[in-house]
Amino acid sequence: MTNLALVNLDDLKVLLSEHSIPNEVWNSKQAADFLTVSVPTLHKEAELGKVPGVRIGKDWKFSSIALYQYISKKEESK
């Protein structure tokens, strides 16, 4: 028996991205390299809440999946 489910396309993209990209915690250098920005720019954008990240003490941490979703949403809005 085959089950067919109606799925929102955005939800499907997220589901696929979660399985194709490992969910890792990146430091600022790794996240900046992924986004092709400088570390100071990344920190500024994260402080403003534009880039998803968490500040722990003096360090910033970034989820690979959250950054992929951030990039995907920016690409869709173009």
In 3D space, the residue among 53, 10, 9, 48 whose CA is nearest the CA of residue 29 turns out to be: 53
Give the integer Cα–Cα distance in Å for 72 and 31: 15
pLDDT in tens, the chain (78 residues): 455 556 566 766 666 666 667 789 999 999 999 999 999 999 999 999 999 999 999 999 999 999 988 988 877 776
What is residue 30's predicted lDDT score, i.e. its pLDDT?
Answer: 97
What is residue 38's predicted lDDT score, i.e. its pLDDT?
Answer: 98
What is residue 45's predicted lDDT score, i.e. its pLDDT?
Answer: 97
Q: In this structure, what CATH number is given to the domain that contains residue 51? A: 1.10.10.10
Under 8 Å between Cβ of 50 and 35: no
Q: Kindly state whether residue 29 falls inside one of the protein's structural domains.
A: yes
- Give Cβ neighbours of residue 67 (< 8 Å, ≥ 6 apart): 26, 31, 34, 35, 51, 52
Q: Is the pTM of this model over 0.85?
A: no
Count of structural domains within the chain = 1
What is residue 23's predicted lDDT score, i.e. its pLDDT?
Answer: 84
